[in-house]
Structure 1
Amino acid sequence: MILFIILTFAAAGLLYLYLIWNFSYWSKRRVPSPKAKVLLGDLPNGILRKENMAYDFERLYNKYKGKTPFVGIIQLRDPRLLILEPELIKDVLVGKFHYFKNNEFADMIDTKLDPLFAKNPFFLKDDEWKEKRAEITPAFTTNRMKALYPLIQDVSARMVKYITIESKKSDPFDARELSAKYTTDVVSNCIFGVDAESFTKENAKIREMGKKLFSSSPWIFIKMILIESFKFLKRFIKIQFTEIEIQQFFVDLMKQALKYRDENNIQREDFLDYIIQLRNKKNISELEMASHTISFFSDGFETSSIAISHALYELGKSKRVQDKLREEIKNNANKNGQISFEKLQEMSYLDQVFHEALRMHPPLVTSSRLCSEDVDLEYDGKKVTVEKGMSVFIPYLSVHYDPENFLEPKNFHPERFDDGAMKDYLDRCVLMPFGGGPRICLGMRFALLQSKAALAAIVGNFEVTVNSKTQDNPLVIDPKEFLNIKTGGLWLDFKPLSEE
């Protein structure tokens, strides 16, 4: 019994030493750092899911900004570096991109369990990432975007009809669900050439599968925590981000779309057409084709719906901005109320409104880069060596709300981007709605196109106001979500302008 007690205490002591082994890592290197907590590191609320991890980063950012260009932190038990200065962020994303071209998710995904997502450029690294990105990039040319625009307009018209009918009821709209119906229909049309029927059917199949595609599982979170804490468990614990049923659904959807086009000799300049061209030119496998389609679907559906819903929320709060945007919409629409592809690109205030909403509510609140070789980062005479295998964090949300970067950052003020100022903000890496550098969001142009088309259609036809059901005092990011999704939802009311 005594021996058992001794062994138990010894094992507990060894476990404790293992868990705190790196806690002095940053102090030994004379890098400013907070005091880490056992099992929780420096991101305790995010780990316990009491708050979204963005708030842990925000507290660290506000505590150390102006005192140091970087702060050493412990994530569970591993040292990480949090970058605070825009010049260093630009160095990581652009100047020293060669050292930071990968993200840490690449080593988490299992190619056997998640064969479709494993080929998504977001999860790929090194030469494979470069090859696949180069393979997909031509799908987003201006000509192809222009060819897809009529499909987007058709979905926008269906959305306007849906809002008109539903607005006669007393219930408010969940802006994110409305936006997700829209983006689901758009990407389904542009990728598979099918109508997802999100606006006409309850529990439409593609819409439901889209929800499941991004549903967060507590079990996955626990597995990630275990792997991050005990690296040797990578050999035994495998993470499956997407269920086989969901993967098979999208594979079958692609097969049906291909069969229909082949049998009916249909040619349409959309994403599926581009993937068919890839198959003919490079002889890519059916799995690779399906992987590309699900990459297009996931990239075009979730983040865009989050961005659109936040833009509508901010417009609903600001009658001044909404009225000014509506005037621009009216001035650019033809006699049928339609806005051409070219006119949409020229609408500067619409672009400013959308980017200001992205500044205040970036879909991805923070990002990480994995160091592939030892490299020094230096700013204002202070230097730190980032070792191979270490992750560097970039706190997008905190940078976007820094008063040194933006005057009155908590105010929705699209005019801050007047006279070409947006390019300066982007170049200085203080505005990063789509990330930055060579790994900037691949579907950015498509996201901008479908999002601005949605805003133009809604603001051109409805007066938008925020419903009291919205928990916005203040808005809080859901602690259980990876992306910037607000607790309680964004509830809006729409009043048809034709009634005025």
Structure 2
Amino acid sequence: MCPIFCMWLLIAGFLALVYVFLTWNFDYWRKRGIETAASWPFVGSFPSTFTKKRNVAYDIDDIYQQYKETDKMVGVFTTRRPQLLVICPEYINKIYASDFRSFRDNERGNFVDKKVDKILGNNPFILKGDEWKERRAEITPGLSLNRVKAVYPVSQSVCKKFVDYIKRQQRMATTQGLDAKKLSLCYTTEVVSDCVLGISAQSFTDTPTPLVAMIQRVFNSSSKFILYSVLANIWPPIRKFYSLPLFNEEAEEFFFDIMSRCLKLRREKPEEQRDDFLNYMLQLQEKKGLDESELTVHTMTFLTDGFETTALVLSHTLLMLARHPEQQQKVRDEIGKAELSFEQLTELPYLEACIHETLRLFSPQLTARKLVTEAYELTNKNGSPLRLNPGDVVIIPVNSLHHDSQYYENPHEFRPERFLEANGGVKKYRDQGVYLPFGNGPRICPGIRFALTQLKAALVEILRSFDIHVNPKTRSDNRLNDTFCWATLKGGIWLEFTER
């Protein structure tokens, strides 16, 4: 037999085996009486994960739109692993809240080894079982209303520096305007560092500390982390002998060193104590007998959860207000000209409605993936039951729900009024299971109050000081970035700030 023919025969046989490996279970959901979305070898139901031609949220939305009138759930495949896309808001609300016990873990916890990635692996969002509950119970008091109020003067001081920084940047700006995401990340880095650790990241100077660059490096490398997750879905045993940390060894050492320095400084100068998050963690260390490594890991939750996501929300809120001068002026009229106390800041309903409407349009969390932890039965629209078993994964199409005209009139328009208390407020949509930027139920984001305070404080100072306009470089639609895992406008947000 010809050697070349044999070689091609071997190649064909190998490819056939690969094809079978990738597709052999594509009838998994049909056997269980559930409609299945179109799926392909290697890419499963979400080809954009690999093609990068559009955001994966649009793949999910295509499936959502196709099945939402006929089914409460639809089978999908993440690479070759069967998972369930839940479409029905009633079930989604049960998954998050009333029947939380059966869905208490997040799938992301399957891909993180806390021994390899100490910082991310010990985050309450990642932890599973009783560990997340214990860690959350330890962290939540540090985010109490009184502690957020205690650091509000720090936030105000940072906001004033932020405004001066924008003024300087605008004077040097080119015709392309200013990068709102970059500006916002400078702010969140500075305010979180100061409120949590009591140090300045020097974000508004020409020589920022390495903290700014390190944060950007960590989150910009998240694409590698996503690729690892994809490979682990194709071949789950890889998780047993290899784990890719989001915080690599260099980043881990960097943050541990910062914490060590801050702790030393705080202990050496007890007269400078303040009722902030680090002070709370020191109290927790004494109470729980935590070593410095454990204390660092705990405190990093406050830091890492506040940088990127809050910057995204701030930059998109600025974009929405710049696009809508009438709403921008409404906020300006609401905040007035006088310095606001913490209590007054919490009573700005229209500003808060603008933030929530921005979160609806650009939710940092485009989808959520929950692990089944206890057997649970769902019933489809046709009456057929489906039993889910521990280890199964359900996908929540957050972005699709937020843009569904069945729940939001003219869903692609910026209408803050829909979140005013007179119209039912946030609770109305959250209780329906259709507003989920922070999640819901027992594992709802613990830092909501802190994040909203930092957002409102920054927006108040900016709107008092500037008229905000959209630079022509910024696209006019809400098209999502093709590859970023969180919601952000494709092409970036470029704004112009005119001093008032």
TM-score by length of 2: 0.95
CA apart distance, 1:7: 5.1
Per the alignment, residue 409 of structure 2 pairs with 407
Once residues 415 and 341 of structure 2 are traced to their aligned partners in structure 1, the CA distance between those partners, rounded to angstroms, is: 26
* Higher deviation after alignment, 155-164 or 284-293: 284-293
Per the alignment, residue 200 of structure 2 pairs with 195
Matches within 5 A, 1:180-259: 180-216=185-221, 218-259=223-264
CA apart distance, 1:257: 1.0
Per the alignment, residue 146 of structure 1 pairs with 149
Aligned match for 2:316, one of 310, 329, 340 = 310
Aligned match for 2:181, one of 176, 187, 193 = 176
Q: For 1:294, give the aligned amino acid.
A: M
Once residues 225 and 428 of structure 2 are traced to their aligned partners in structure 1, the CA distance between those partners, rounded to angstroms, is: 39
Once residues 299 and 459 of structure 1 are traced to their aligned partners in structure 2, the CA distance between those partners, rounded to angstroms, is: 26
- 1:226-256: CA deviation from partner (whole Å, max 9, x where unpaired): 2110122222332121121111111111111
Q: For 1:129, give the aligned amino acid.
A: W
CA apart distance, 1:225: 2.0
* Higher deviation after alignment, 60-69 or 309-318: 60-69
Per the alignment, residue 480 of structure 1 pairs with 483
Aligned match for 1:25, one of 23, 28, 35 = 28
Per the alignment, residue 121 of structure 1 pairs with 124
Matches within 5 A, 1:451-470: 451-470=455-474
CA apart distance, 1:78: 0.9
SS in structure 1 opposite 2:485? coil
2:304 maps to 1:298? yes
CA apart distance, 1:112: 2.9
Residues 449 and 420 (structure 1 numbering): CA distance in 2 closer, same or farther, change over 3 Å? farther
Q: For 2:19, give the aligned amino acid.
A: Y
Kept in 2, the 8 Å contact 1:86–1:428? The answer is yes
CA apart distance, 1:182: 0.6
SS in structure 2 opposite 1:116? helix
Per the alignment, residue 390 of structure 2 pairs with 388
Matches within 5 A, 1:339-350: 339-350=340-351
CA apart distance, 1:379: 5.4
Per the alignment, residue 288 of structure 2 pairs with 282
Matches within 5 A, 1:299-378: 299-330=305-336, 333-334=337-338, 338-378=339-379
Percent sequence identity over aligned pairs: 38
CA apart distance, 1:163: 1.5
SS in structure 2 opposite 1:50? coil
CA apart distance, 1:113: 2.3
CA apart distance, 1:210: 1.3
Residues 15 and 241 (structure 1 numbering): CA distance in 2 closer, same or farther, change over 3 Å? same
Output the aligned Cα RMSD. 1.7
Once residues 8 and 489 of structure 1 are traced to their aligned partners in structure 2, the CA distance between those partners, rounded to angstroms, is: 44
Q: For 2:442, give the aligned amino acid.
A: P
Once residues 273 and 181 of structure 2 are traced to their aligned partners in structure 1, the CA distance between those partners, rounded to angstroms, is: 33
CA apart distance, 1:63: 1.3
* Structure 1 runs, 4 residues or longer, greater than 6 Å off: none
CA apart distance, 1:490: 0.4
Q: Which runs of 5+ in 2 are unaligned?
A: none
Once residues 232 and 153 of structure 2 are traced to their aligned partners in structure 1, the CA distance between those partners, rounded to angstroms, is: 46
Kept in 2, the 8 Å contact 1:314–1:357? The answer is yes
SS in structure 1 opposite 2:303? helix
Per the alignment, residue 38 of structure 1 pairs with 41
Kept in 1, the 8 Å contact 2:108–2:369? The answer is no
Q: Which runs of 5+ in 1 are unaligned?
A: none
- 1:270-292: CA deviation from partner (whole Å, max 9, x where unpaired): 11001101101001121221112
Kept in 2, the 8 Å contact 1:371–1:386? The answer is yes
Residues 12 and 170 (structure 1 numbering): CA distance in 2 closer, same or farther, change over 3 Å? closer
Once residues 354 and 10 of structure 1 are traced to their aligned partners in structure 2, the CA distance between those partners, rounded to angstroms, is: 56
Q: For 1:244, give the aligned amino acid.
A: E
Once residues 142 and 378 of structure 1 are traced to their aligned partners in structure 2, the CA distance between those partners, rounded to angstroms, is: 41
CA apart distance, 1:173: 1.3
- 1:73-114: CA deviation from partner (whole Å, max 9, x where unpaired): 111111111111211110111122111111111121122321
Kept in 1, the 8 Å contact 2:73–2:380? The answer is no
SS in structure 2 opposite 1:167? helix
SS in structure 2 opposite 1:305? helix
SS in structure 2 opposite 1:73? strand
Residues 320 and 475 (structure 1 numbering): CA distance in 2 closer, same or farther, change over 3 Å? same
2:425 maps to 1:424? no
SS in structure 2 opposite 1:200? coil
Kept in 2, the 8 Å contact 1:196–1:207? The answer is yes
Residues 469 and 204 (structure 1 numbering): CA distance in 2 closer, same or farther, change over 3 Å? farther
TM-score by length of 1: 0.95
Once residues 411 and 135 of structure 2 are traced to their aligned partners in structure 1, the CA distance between those partners, rounded to angstroms, is: 37
Once residues 463 and 444 of structure 2 are traced to their aligned partners in structure 1, the CA distance between those partners, rounded to angstroms, is: 29
CA apart distance, 1:140: 1.2
CA apart distance, 1:58: 1.1
SS in structure 2 opposite 1:168? helix
Once residues 473 and 209 of structure 2 are traced to their aligned partners in structure 1, the CA distance between those partners, rounded to angstroms, is: 26
CA apart distance, 1:205: 1.6
Aligned match for 2:82, one of 57, 79, 104 = 79
Kept in 1, the 8 Å contact 2:371–2:393? The answer is yes
Kept in 2, the 8 Å contact 1:369–1:393? The answer is yes
CA apart distance, 1:420: 5.3
Give the total of aligned pairs. 491
Q: For 2:412, give the aligned amino acid.
A: K
CA apart distance, 1:5: 5.8
Q: For 1:318, give the aligned amino acid.
A: H
Per the alignment, residue 445 of structure 2 pairs with 441
Per the alignment, residue 107 of structure 2 pairs with 104
Kept in 2, the 8 Å contact 1:216–1:480? The answer is no
- 1:107-153: CA deviation from partner (whole Å, max 9, x where unpaired): 21122321122111111001001100111010111111110100100
Once residues 81 and 60 of structure 2 are traced to their aligned partners in structure 1, the CA distance between those partners, rounded to angstroms, is: 16
Kept in 2, the 8 Å contact 1:94–1:438? The answer is yes
CA apart distance, 1:165: 2.4
Kept in 2, the 8 Å contact 1:47–1:53? The answer is no
Kept in 2, the 8 Å contact 1:367–1:394? The answer is yes
Once residues 362 and 10 of structure 2 are traced to their aligned partners in structure 1, the CA distance between those partners, rounded to angstroms, is: 51
CA apart distance, 1:326: 0.4
Kept in 1, the 8 Å contact 2:362–2:488? The answer is no
